[in-house]
Chain A
Amino acid sequence: MDISVVFLAVLVLSVLGMQVGRSRAMAVAGGQARALHSRAGYYGAFVALATALPAFMVLFLWTAVEPTVIQALVRARLPAEIQALQADQLSLVLTTIENLAYRNIAPSQSQPYLTSAATLMREMHATANWLMVGVCMLVALGGFFLSRGRITVAFRARNTVEAVVKALMIVCSSIAILTTVGIVMSMLVESLHFFAEVSPLDFFFGLVWDPRFAGAARADQTGQFGLIPLMWGTLFISFVAMLVAVPIGLLSAVYMSEYAGPKFRKAAKPLLEVLAGIPTVVYGFFALITIGPALRDIGAVFGLDISSTSVLCAGLTMGIMIIPFVSSLSDDIINAVPQSLRDASYGLGATQSETIRQVVLPAALPGIVGACLLAVSRALGETMIVVMAAGIAAKLTANPFDSVTTMTVKIVAQLTGDLEFNSPQTLVAFALGLTLFVITLGLNVMALAIVRKYREKYD
C-alpha cells in the first residue's frame, strides 16, 4: 500500500468528519443552532482536524524514521567482518543493499550476504508499510471518534479550532525562520572549516586573490585568499550602479508621484516595473554583447582604453536593473507624505518645486535613504550581471575602465566544475558567502530600521 493511498484515505475520513461533526453538533443542540457555543461548522472543523492532523503527523514521522531503523536492523544482521568495516565503506555496502532491495540494481560482484540482507530489508519494509497503514488509520479513526464524542452544547469548538490554526501559522512562519538559521549555520560551519586551513587574518586583510587549483596545489602551495580585491570590486561596481540608479530612480519617482497625470502614471509605472521583472541573466548578456562593446568603441573614439568587461559596463547595467527598485520604493514613500503638508506649503504661496524640494523630499528623506540601502544590498549580492560583464581578474584598481571581479563571481567560480569539498579552494566560497551575507544583512536591518522610524512619524 502506497503512502499516497494512506494519505488519501485519511483525507476522505477527515472530510467525512467535517460532515459528521457538524450534524452531530446540530443533533446535540436539538436543531437549535443558537444553543451551541460555536457555529456548527466549527464542530465539523474540529472533528476534521482531530482526524487528519495526528494521522498525518504519524505518517510524516514514520516515513522519516523508517529507513534509518530498517538500516540499523539490517546492519546488525550483517556478517561480523562487514560490520567491522570503516564507516564510509560500511555505508557503501548498505547503499548497495538498498539499491538491490528497492531498485533491483544488482551489484557488480554478488555476494550471498548481500542478497540475504536485501531480502531481509525488503521484507522488513513490507511489514513496516502495513504497520504504518494500520497505525495511521487507527490514529485517524481514534481522532475521529474521540473528537465526535467530545461534542457537547458547551464545548468550545471555535476556540479549539482557532488555537490549532494559530499553531499552524506559527509552524509556517518558523519554517521560514528556521531555513534562514539553517543556511547561516551551514555557511558558518563550512567557513569554520575554511578558517581552520587559512588564517582569518590572511582572508580578511589579504591583498592578493590567487587560490590556485585544488588538484594542482602542492602541500606547500595552498594559494592566497585575500578578500580585499574582491571586496573592492564588489563595492566599486555597486558604487557605479548606485550612481546610475539613485538619481534616475529618484527623479523618475518624483515625476511619477508629483507631476505626472493619472493616465501617464497608470501606463508608465508598470512599464518601469517591468525592468525589475527582466531576469538578471538577460541583463548579463545585454551587458556582455551590447553595452560592453559599445563602451569600448566609444572609449576608442576618445582614445580611452576601455576593456569590454569593465567596472563601468557592469555598474551601468546593474544600475539600470535597480532603477525600478529605487523608483518604486521612493514613489511609495513620497506618496505617503500627507497631502496636508503639501497644502500647507501651497497655502503659504510656495511653488510646486519649492514644495517638493523643501517639504516633500525632506519629509520622505529617511524612507528614501532606506530604499537606497535596500538597493545597495541588492547590488552587492547581484551575481549574473557581474559574472558576465565584470570580468574574472581580481584586481585592485581605481580605474573604472578596467575589469575587476566580485565576491559573487568568485563564489560561482569556486563552486562550479569538478571539485572536492574539503579543499580551501572550494571552502573559501562559503567564507565569501558568509561575509556577503553579513554585509547585506547589516544593510537590510539598517534600512528597515530607518524606514520604520519614518513610518512612525505619520501614523
Chain B
Amino acid sequence: MEMARTMTETKAVGASSTEAPKFKIKMSGRGVNVHYGAKHALKTVDIDIRENQVTAFIGPSGCGKSTFLRCLNRMNDTIDACKVSGDLKLDKQDIYDKSIDVVQLRARVGMVFQKANPFPKSIYENIVYGPKIHGLATGKQELDEIVEKSLRGAGLWNEVKDRLLDSGTGLSGGQQQRLCIARAIAVSPEVILMDEPCSALDPIATAHVEELIDELKSKYTIVIVTHNMQQAARVSQRTAFFHLGVLVEEDDTANIFTNPRDERTQGYITGRYG
C-alpha cells in the first residue's frame, strides 16, 4: 500500500520530465566488463545516461552498481586489481582512451561519496580546493564568488555563511554531505556521480539532499546509486536495475516501478529478495 502511494507520486514527478520530446545522451556504455582480479564484477553492460536527468542505479549489495558508477569517472583506476574493458563515452568521447587525461575527466565528472568526506580544512578551503587546482579562478574575489555560488547551489549558504573559516569536519552529517556536493559543483562539472549519498544521513537530512538533487538536475546530469528504492522513485527519471553484475533492466523510473519487464526486477522492487 505504502509502495503504491509512492508510485503515483513518482509518476507525477517523472511524467513532466519524460514527456520532454528530446533528450541528449550525456554518457554511454557499450559492452562494459569489469574484473576485480579473478572476479567478473560487471558483465557486458549497455546503458545510456541522459543529460539533465537523474539516473538511479538500484540493486542488491554486490550487484556491481557502485563499480559501474566508479567506471564513469575512472575512480576504479586507483584500484590495482581492477580491469575495465568495453566502450565508455562522455559526449561521444571514449573516456578510457589514452588521449584522455583522467584529471580532466574527473573535473567534468564529479563525485559525491557514501560517507561525507570533507577535508580537515575550513569550509572555505574545502570549496576552493577544486577550483584552485584547476586554475578556475584568479584572485580572491572570484574564489569568494565560487564559494558563495557553490554553497547556495548546495543549499548550505544560509547555514554556514557566517562561519566559512570553521572546520568542515565540525558540521553535522547532513551538512557535511551537502558541503561535499558544494565542493563537487564548485569545479562546474557536467556530470555528478553520487554513491549512496544519503545512506549515513537521518531522514530530515536525506530529504534536504533529495530536494537538492532535484534542483541540481537542471544544470547537471546526475547518476545516483541507492539502496533505497523509495529514494530512487522519488528523485530519478531513469532507473537501472543491476543484479549479479548484469544490467537487468533500464527504463523510465515510473515504468520500472509499476511495470517491470523482467521477473528479477519485479522480485527486487516488491521486496522478494535483495
The answer to whether B106 and A344 touch across the interface, beta carbons within 8 angstroms, is: no
Give the residue among B107, B120, B180 with the most A Cβ atoms within 10 A. B120
The answer to whether B103 and A344 touch across the interface, beta carbons within 8 angstroms, is: no
The answer to whether A347 and B133 touch across the interface, beta carbons within 8 angstroms, is: no
B: contact size bracket: 20 to 34
B182 to chain A, nearest CB (A): 12
The answer to whether A347 and B120 touch across the interface, beta carbons within 8 angstroms, is: no
A351: Cβ under 8 A from any B Cβ: yes
Which residue in B120, B169, B187 is a CB contact (below 8 Å) of A348? B187
The answer to whether B187 and A343 touch across the interface, beta carbons within 8 angstroms, is: no
The answer to whether A346 and B110 touch across the interface, beta carbons within 8 angstroms, is: no
B74 to chain A, nearest CB (A): 9
The answer to whether A346 and B106 touch across the interface, beta carbons within 8 angstroms, is: yes
Q: What per-residue 1/0 map shows which CB atoms of A417-435 lie under 8 Å from chain B? A: 0000000000000000000
1-34 of chain B: CB within 8 A of chain A: none
Residues of B near A345 (CB, < 8 A) are: 119, 129
Q: A343-B75, A344-B113, A457-B169 are in contact. Are A350 and B133 (CB under 8 A)?
A: yes
Known: A348-B129, A348-B130. 4 other contacts (CB 8 A): A346-B75, A347-B106, A348-B184, A363-B119
Q: How far is the CA of A362 from the CA of B115 in the complex (A)?
A: 21
Q: How far is the CA of A363 from the CA of B167 in the complex (A)?
A: 12
Q: How many residues from A make CB contacts under 8 Å with B? A: 19
70-118 of chain B: CB within 8 A of chain A: 73, 75, 78, 103-107, 110-113, 115, 117-118
A338: Cβ under 8 A from any B Cβ: yes
Give the residue among A341, A342, A350, A351 with the most B Cβ atoms within 10 A. A350
Can you list 5 A-B contacts (CB < 8 A)? A343-B75, A346-B106, A348-B183, A359-B129, A457-B169
Instruction: Report the nearest A residue to B121, measured CB to CB.
Output: A362
B134: Cβ under 8 A from any A Cβ: yes
A210: Cβ under 8 A from any B Cβ: no
The answer to whether A343 and B133 touch across the interface, beta carbons within 8 angstroms, is: no
Residues of A near B73 (CB, < 8 A) are: 347
Q: How far is the CA of A363 from the CA of B120 in the complex (A)?
A: 7
Q: What per-residue 1/0 map shows which CB atoms of B116-156 lie under 8 Å from chain A? A: 01111100000001100110000000000000000000000
A358: Cβ under 8 A from any B Cβ: yes
Q: Which residues of chain B have a CB within 8 Å of any CB of chain A? A: 73, 75, 78, 103-107, 110-113, 115, 117-121, 129-130, 133-134, 169, 180, 183-184, 187
Q: How far is the CA of A350 from the CA of B184 in the complex (A)?
A: 12
The answer to whether A351 and B75 touch across the interface, beta carbons within 8 angstroms, is: no
Residues of A near B187 (CB, < 8 A) are: 348-349
Q: A354-B133, A358-B133, A457-B169 are in contact. Are A347 and B111 (CB under 8 A)?
A: yes
Q: How far is the CA of A328 from the CA of B130 in the complex (A)?
A: 31
Q: A354-B133, A358-B133, A457-B169 are in contact. Are A340 and B113 (CB under 8 A)?
A: yes
A320 to chain B, nearest CB (A): 33
A449 to chain B, nearest CB (A): 18
Q: How far is the CA of A205 from the CA of B180 in the complex (A)?
A: 56
Q: How far is the CA of A351 from the CA of B130 in the complex (A)?
A: 11
Which residue in A347, A354, A359, A457 is a CB contact (below 8 Å) of B113? A347
B200 to chain A, nearest CB (A): 12
Instruction: Report the nearest A residue to B104, measured CB to CB.
Output: A349
Q: How far is the CA of A344 from the CA of B133 in the complex (A)?
A: 13
Q: How far is the CA of A345 from the CA of B126 in the complex (A)?
A: 10
Q: How far is the CA of A358 from the CA of B115 in the complex (A)?
A: 21
Q: A354-B133, A358-B133 are in contact. Are A343 and B106 (CB under 8 A)?
A: no
A356 to chain B, nearest CB (A): 12
Q: A340-B113, A358-B129 are in contact. Are A347 and B75 (CB under 8 A)?
A: yes
A333 to chain B, nearest CB (A): 14
A357 to chain B, nearest CB (A): 10
Q: How far is the CA of A341 from the CA of B133 in the complex (A)?
A: 16
Q: How far is the CA of A397 from the CA of B115 in the complex (A)?
A: 56
Q: How far is the CA of A359 from the CA of B119 in the complex (A)?
A: 7
Q: How far is the CA of A451 from the CA of B183 in the complex (A)?
A: 29
The answer to whether B113 and A349 touch across the interface, beta carbons within 8 angstroms, is: no
The answer to whether B113 and A343 touch across the interface, beta carbons within 8 angstroms, is: yes
A65 to chain B, nearest CB (A): 59
* A-B complex: 9 closest residue pairs judged by Cβ atoms: A349-B107, A347-B111, A349-B106, A340-B117, A348-B130, A344-B117, A349-B103, A354-B133, A350-B133
Residues of A near B129 (CB, < 8 A) are: 345, 348, 350, 358-359
Q: How far is the CA of A345 from the CA of B133 in the complex (A)?
A: 10
Q: How far is the CA of A345 from the CA of B184 in the complex (A)?
A: 10
Q: A354-B133, A457-B169 are in contact. Are A348 and B110 (CB under 8 A)?
A: yes
